[in-house]
Chains A and B, each alone.
Chain A
Amino acid sequence: MKISREEVLHVAHLARLNIGDGEIDPLCGQLGSILEYVEKLSGIDTSAVAPTAHAMEMANAFRKDETGRHLENQQALANGPDAEAGHFIVPKVIE
């Protein structure tokens, strides 16, 4: 198998996902077959090829550092699952 149960669980932790016991083996199979398939890329010599991150040639696009109108605080909070006093509420982090 191209990817082990331990690797799937490790990557799931990095991605902040829970994987149920019954899901691990199917995922090993599915991810494994995809990883086996993409293995074909190693047949191409890319030692002299620069990577492309973006299709278009572009430089950093900076805007001026100016104040402007943006979302009002209440608008920004409106879709939050829990908010209070102008802030998002999250579960307790420090005991």
Chain B
Amino acid sequence: MKLHELTIHEAAAMLAKKEISVPELCRAVFERIEAVEPQVDAYITVTKEQAEARAEAVQQEINRGEAGPLAGIPLAVKDLICTRGVRTTCASRMLKDFTPPYNACVMEKLEASGAVMTGKANMDEFAMGSSTENSAFKTTKNPWDPSRVPGGSSGGSAAAVAADLCLGALGSDTGGSIRQPASHCGVVGIKPTYGRVSRYGLVAFASSLDQIGPIAKDVTDAALLLREIAGYDPRDSTSVDMAVPDYAAALTGDVAGLKIGIPAEYHQAAGMDREVSAAVNRAVTVFRDAGAELVDISLPHTDYSVAAYYLIAPAEASSNLARYDGVKYGFRDPESSGLLDMYKNTRSSGFGPEVKRRILLGTYALSAGYYDAYYKKASQVRTLIKQDFAGAFASCDVILAPVAPTPAFQLGENTDDPLQMYLSDVFTLSANLAGIPGLSVPCGFSRQGLPIGLQLMGNYFAEASILKAARFYEQQAGVFRKRPNISGT
């Protein structure tokens, strides 16, 4: 039994029965990190010393019978979630030395539930990207094929989970940044309903779209993690005051009578890889054979989601990232004559090319004379995309779709053409624009052995429905039991 291969629910059961100890479990995970991390590069910061001290303390809590639901579980955290005393870089030179003086709401919750942080996971700079190649510090490799990207922007979190460099992880999803890397790395990831999880302490990219969520080895683990991080927080004025259900208890495995919507626009999209299409179609059959009812639905504005998203998200980003001015925190260019010069030099050498591109695009879309044609127009189309989903959920409970049009692409394949990279987000952006929850669960492998993810989207706050459907599928398909063939040198 290799302890780092355990799921969260398996490890929690063994810890509760005292079959293993927290220090033992953490030691196994850090030994795995030492052996395999040089090939994967999933972490920006590994917090081994803090974790060792914390492991001892949590074991004491377990011994006293005061253990929380995640007591002793080693978790990785995407490096844009503020962690008190542990630097939080957003994979940017701008925040290379930023050490938050406070914890994000989700970190307070994880601490209260007994989790042990293993480190801060790599990502695209400020979460802008679909491959984690935009990190200023390192390139994360896909554990299933190190010549390929892990997806992004939460690529470090997904790769760490897939390579057993932690038992689970937190990511964030603004346009697919949890679901797409989960799909490419063969793990489970869920983007909750907008407002379900507090964004307090999440470094902002596009505030009306950002949402924190779990990446895990199986659906049960994703459900356990989501329950711990969800809930109302008055410090995030967009968080919603609604009771958090016991998601794991909803995983009954029964889908008889469940109405599954099949959106024509997703399944007949141009540029769809045939193997992805085939894997998703096989999943449809699995649901149908179990007594689920398939419903043909239409989401007619799907084809406009990339255009709407790549105006709205950069517009919000250009405003949010105005705060990086070299004054209050982060990098300052030392070679400056005067204040304006300092602002410009700082931002020009602190931000990487993709972040600058999006700031420029967003500033343009908001600037005088262009606001109505770009930002306002995109916001109106956002309304239509929302209405598409409202119409669809009138006739189905869950929407089934691909996550990404292709399996993980080669490192460097899409870096010269930003628009090409944006187009690969076509299936995930709409859920963020509408605010609904969506998840990715493994549904097969390409002939080259690359994982393929299945997307399930639900109505507002219907996380339990999509998790339940995903758990049923996972039990039937058993795809998650395969592991990447990556071992220490």
Contact = CB atoms under 8 A, between A and B. Distances in A.
A60 to B, nearest CB: 8
A17 B360 CA distance: 9
A71 B102 CA distance: 8
Contacts of A12: 360
Interface in B338-391: 338-345, 347-348, 351, 356-357, 359-361, 363-364, 367, 373-374, 376-384, 386
A34 B418 contact: yes
Contact of A51 (B101, B367, B379): B379
Contacts of A27: 357, 360
A13 B383 CA distance: 32
A44 B46 CA distance: 49
Nearest to B208: A54
B342 A91 contact: yes
B240 interface: yes
B98 A46 contact: no
A87 B356 CA distance: 29
A93 B326 CA distance: 15
B160 interface: no
A19 B100 CA distance: 31
B238 A76 contact: no
A41 B318 CA distance: 21
Contact of B360 (A11, A50, A71, A91): A11
B325 A51 contact: no
A49 B310 CA distance: 20
A90 B328 contact: no
A82 B333 CA distance: 11
B360 A8 contact: yes
Interface in A39-57: 40-42, 44, 46, 49-56
A37 B444 CA distance: 33
Interface in B301-344: 301, 303-304, 306-308, 310-311, 318, 322, 325-332, 336-344
B35 interface: no
B269 interface: no
B382 A17 contact: no
A55 B364 contact: no
Given A42-B377, A82-B332, A55 B434 contact: yes
Contacts of B432: 55
Given A11-B367, A63-B234, A56 B339 contact: no
B195 interface: yes
Interface in A1-58: 3, 7-8, 11-12, 14-18, 27, 30-31, 33-35, 37-38, 40-42, 44, 46, 49-56, 58
A-B CB proximity, top 4 nearest? A55-B435, A51-B379, A79-B329, A81-B332
